[in-house]
A and B are shown apart, each in its own frame.
Chain A
Amino acid sequence: MNWYLQNGKESDVVISTRVRLSRNIKGIPFINRASKEELKEVYDKVKEIIPSLGYNLKFLSLSDMDSITKQSLVEKHLISPDFAKTKMPYTAVAINDDENICIMVNEEDHIKLQVFTSGLDIDNLLNLAIEIDEKIENLLPYSYHEKYGFLTACPTNVGTGLKISTLVHIPALQMTGNLNKMLNIINNLGMNVRGLYGEGTKAEGDVYQVSNNQTLGITEKEIAKNLNLLAQKIIDQERLARKYLSKNSLKLEDEVYRSYGILANARRIGEDEALELLSKVKLGTDLGIIKELNDKKVRELMLYTKPANMQKRLGTKLSVIDQEASRCEVIKQILQED
């Protein structure tokens, strides 16, 4: 079973963690100044070394991929939305069967090495990323500067080239009116926080991405430590808010079961509505209120109610309107599985 369908450490609040290293190959211009031939050179070089890295990585050209498959990778957060839409030639991903390793080739930098895990497990993830990074470096020397560290096209990534991000689900902070306070604190600590879906302060689905801004003048270990600390604080506060909500148990039970009721019985559900209902349903499951569900089913619901993964699961292409009815079919399927 792939990582995104499993629970990890602190999974009641932290959905997943990603570690990403931005790297460029020595002697080749960054992608915005690279010629077609140079982009091909990056593509060929990475393609050549992928088998020797191990991990069962498969090298897949983006141009061979249909748009639904690309979008399904975006929905799993394996590639960036812009990368899925790019018209640049010689773009590719190297990905393993578990999909916990995904290397983007010729995205913003030549190589964006990404590793993922369910829940919060920054230290192990960082070790894995560095292990792969060293293997690549042995075969493809990186562009490195004695003063500035690993060089990247965008100066926001230079130095360590390391961005660590966690997805946190914090509905109780929202419901108790503490969300903005929390978001402000995160910003003040020099971390970046944004709603994962939708715009504005209230993110649909109550899922936020927290990541480090600083990549230079800080060690990898410090970045990991800071993010770990911050994540732990968010977890503590969210759990506290949940405890508070549980005091009025009838109100909370009513709220999560209403969401569950709509989710289970509606005949048409849009993507955004599903996100919102699932947020409450996940909260109810995490608190042990909704007995009909388990963590795996919640994870499946979260993934397969998204348009591209839903269409992949059903094996058909659907218009946005048809998706609303099909979404309910998929939900029913998942609820009835044993």
Chain B
Amino acid sequence: MLCQNCGKNEANVRYTQVINGVRKELNLCSECARKLGVDRIDIPMDFTSFLGDFFNDYAESSLLPSFSIDNVKCKTCGMSYNDFIDTGMFGCSDCYDTFSGPIDSLLKNLHGTARHIGRGVKNVDDLLGKNTKSKTSNKTENISKSSDDKNAQKLEDLQKQLDKAIKEERYEDAAKIRDKIKEMNK
């Protein structure tokens, strides 16, 4: 039987529609079925579960005997690692810390590494002098706008950066960071 839509190809998809008790049947070729959007129901694979399976394979090999994640749930969003396996998606930022053990090996499999080396959030970039463009006006604006909460977080980050810079003997960077902390404490 030929496709009832294009009349050219052999029909290999039967589409039945029942609206208000009226039954309508169409025989379509796969091409037309795809175009009319009736083929989606026939596809058993859904992408997120496929991704989940993929992660599951990695997760098994990464399970250390001492590390049980069965009952661990993310405190912030309530997601368990199994939920992640099912969907391939994390629930919130804190999931990355909650499941950092299995995530590390998962990320290594996906990206070859588990450590970010690209751009940071802006204030960190400025500190390290990565962005040499003058952003002083931006910076002050940023500080005045941000809440106290954010300032405290920033100071803490700065202190960490300072310690790191000193440890790594990057004294030029350290000086910049020190000045920045001074400025913020004014």
Q: Which residues of A contact B (CB under 8 A)?
A: 24, 26, 28-30, 32-33, 108, 130, 134, 137-138, 141-145, 147-151, 153-156, 158-160, 162, 213-220, 270-272, 320-321
Q: Does B166 contact A (CB under 8 A)?
A: no
**CB closest chain-B residue, reference A133:** B119
Nearest-Cβ distance from residue A41 to partner chain B, whole angstroms: 13
Chain B interface extent, by class? 35 or more
State whether A155 and B32 are in contact (beta carbons under 8 Å apart), knowing that A148-B114, A320-B5 are contacts in the complex: no
Q: Which of A28, A149, A217, A218 has the most CB of B within 10 A?
A: A217
> Are B142's CB and A138's CB within 8 A?
yes
On chain A, the residues within 8 Å of B71 by CB distance are none
> Are A24's CB and B32's CB within 8 A?
no
State whether A144 and B121 are in contact (beta carbons under 8 Å apart), knowing that A33-B77, A216-B116 are contacts in the complex: yes
> Are B106's CB and A217's CB within 8 A?
no
State whether A148 and B96 are in contact (beta carbons under 8 Å apart), knowing that A29-B76, A142-B121 are contacts in the complex: yes
> Are B35's CB and A320's CB within 8 A?
yes
State whether A219 and B36 are in contact (beta carbons under 8 Å apart), knowing that A148-B107, A153-B90, A158-B107 are contacts in the complex: no
Q: Does B182 contact A (CB under 8 A)?
A: no
Q: Which of B96, B103, B118, B121 has the most CB of A within 10 A?
A: B118
**CB closest chain-A residue, reference B160:** A146
On chain A, the residues within 8 Å of B113 by CB distance are 216-217
Q: Does B120 contact A (CB under 8 A)?
A: yes
On chain B, the residues within 8 Å of A151 by CB distance are 90, 93, 96
> Are A217's CB and B93's CB within 8 A?
no
> Are A147's CB and B116's CB within 8 A?
yes
Kindly state the separation between the CA atoms of A148 and B31 in the bound complex, as whole angstroms: 43
On chain A, the residues within 8 Å of B36 by CB distance are 320
> Are A134's CB and B93's CB within 8 A?
no
Kindly state the separation between the CA atoms of A64 and B142 in the bound complex, as whole angstroms: 34
Kindly state the separation between the CA atoms of A178 and B117 in the bound complex, as whole angstroms: 36
Kindly state the separation between the CA atoms of A218 and B103 in the bound complex, as whole angstroms: 18
Nearest-Cβ distance from residue A98 to partner chain B, whole angstroms: 25
> Are A134's CB and B122's CB within 8 A?
yes
Kindly state the separation between the CA atoms of A108 and B88 in the bound complex, as whole angstroms: 11
On chain A, the residues within 8 Å of B101 by CB distance are none
**CB closest chain-A residue, reference B47:** A82
Kindly state the separation between the CA atoms of A108 and B6 in the bound complex, as whole angstroms: 36
On chain B, the residues within 8 Å of A32 by CB distance are 87, 89, 91
Task: Other than A32-B87, A148-B107, A217-B114, give 14 A-B pairs with Cβ distance below 8 A.
Answer: A29-B77, A32-B91, A33-B92, A108-B89, A130-B119, A138-B145, A147-B115, A147-B116, A155-B103, A159-B116, A159-B118, A217-B113, A217-B117, A218-B117
Say which residue of B6, B31, B93, B96 sits within 8 Å of A26 (CB atoms): B93
> Are B115's CB and A154's CB within 8 A?
no
> Are B116's CB and A148's CB within 8 A?
yes
> Are A320's CB and B111's CB within 8 A?
no
State whether A156 and B110 are in contact (beta carbons under 8 Å apart), knowing that A29-B76, A142-B121 are contacts in the complex: yes
Say which residue of A138, A149, A155 sits within 8 Å of B118 (CB atoms): A149
On chain B, the residues within 8 Å of A145 by CB distance are 93, 96-97, 116
Kindly state the separation between the CA atoms of A138 and B97 in the bound complex, as whole angstroms: 25
